[in-house]
Structure 1
Amino acid sequence: MTDPVKSLPGLAVGPAGSRRVLRALPEEVPVAMVFDGSTLAVMMATPSDIEDFAMGFALTEGVIENLDQVESFEAVEQPNGIEARFWLAADRSDALKARRRAMAGPVGCGLCGIDSLDQATRALPRVSGDIRLSREDVATATDALRAHQPLHDRTHASHAAGFLRPGEGIVAAREDVGRHNALDKLIGALARAGEDPATGAFVLTSRVSVEMVQKTALAGCPVLVAVSAPTAHALRLAEGAQITLAAFARDGAFDLYSHPHRIRTGATDVA
């Protein structure tokens, strides 16, 4: 596959003058999600962990309900991008037609290509996971994720999504230039490894927008921890899906917004 990092020249300009530099930059390529010979979506993504990305995308878009419904898969590099080719079990053909869409848009646009407002506000399943996290688990989650970001270390231009297991820390992580792609990659990696998202928390290096909550709910993960803020609508969705949402998780602290019973804070309110 294409190298996910390219070293390219530039000119660094500062108060003392300028100098030539060689910077490691993340690559970004079109990835076509092809189901039974027909392209459903084209996403701009980092060309790494493509099978994880494709499987996570198929799960969170409702094309499949589990990996047993994929009869075969291959990632094929083309001159202008990558094709993620699925062949599905026959019983998924109707579901595929119902989800049919062509989606091509910039990184960060998690709802590009939908054809109705109903799709943007689709009903989410209620997540019933009964895990318990300690205050320390959540407060140190994003700092712990930093140790699993080699692409960011090289480029300073990528997002990550990690899976936090109570008392164990980050046990899996994936990176991409797109925050929602990183989460799809993580969800796909967990599915391929037979890991149940209900046994831990998703940890994000980004803000929490609507599609991040949607993907978390559809994956069945009960806790979402992010380094930045949620949008107001994302918070409403998390509340309705019974997801515990912790945001601004950094420097040993966090804000807790919805379904706090899964986190043992050990603290009392202060005025």
Structure 2
Amino acid sequence: MSEKIRVTGNNLTLRPLIAEVIALRKLIEHRDVGDIVAQPIVDYVRASPHTIRLTITFFSTKEPPFYTSPAGKRVTYNIPDVARNKLNWTTIKNAAGGANGYNWGRFRATANLDNGRQMAVYGGSENEAEQRLKSLLTLSTAKILTLSVLEEKKEGIRQKDKILYKEVTRIYPAYCSVLSSQKIVDESNRELNEYGSRKVGTVTGAFKRTKSQKIPLWVNQEPADFTQIISESLRNRGVNTQ
């Protein structure tokens, strides 16, 4: 499936419009324009620190454009304290169900972890929810202390509200992103220290990353820039060696 943009007009009006469309497409590539951050990323990681967090987003369509209908599903899971040696494109995609994804639904598997955190995954059956949760947690250094699976019954308002009741739906891994809390905190501290010392003008290059670049998982092969994106996501410029 390909993304198509149709524009109409005469040659005079189309030339600048096409240039703008191409520029905009490159600008938002691998990014989700529906993402809204309610607080600065530095504040977020300070309030809820992880070592390295991996976020995987699933959609009920295999390929872009993902937003094809109001009934389409988007599901996001955050894997805490990810092991660096598990930041491999094939390993991540397989843990997310591979090209065939998995069945999402009304069964909620919840694990309490030995790092003090909790992670939950929904599945179309009790076994599917449990196995997908365990599969995603193979990417983390955290171990499961307790695990429970609950079913959201189609009763009360769930019986009337189609949004609340989770019909079994096949979802597929679309993209992922990596966030290093230590990197964000260290780089924000360096920025503040250099600003306080009036050395802002001496900093060579932009060292502070304010967003996580999305890595496509829907494609059949590892993206050419995967290693570069991971390296940049983990590279910590917060320690000033000058």
Give the TM bin, normalised by the shorter chain.
under 0.3
Bigger relative CO (Cα 8 Å, ≥ 6 apart): 2
| Higher CA-based Rg | 2
- Which structure is higher in strand share? 1
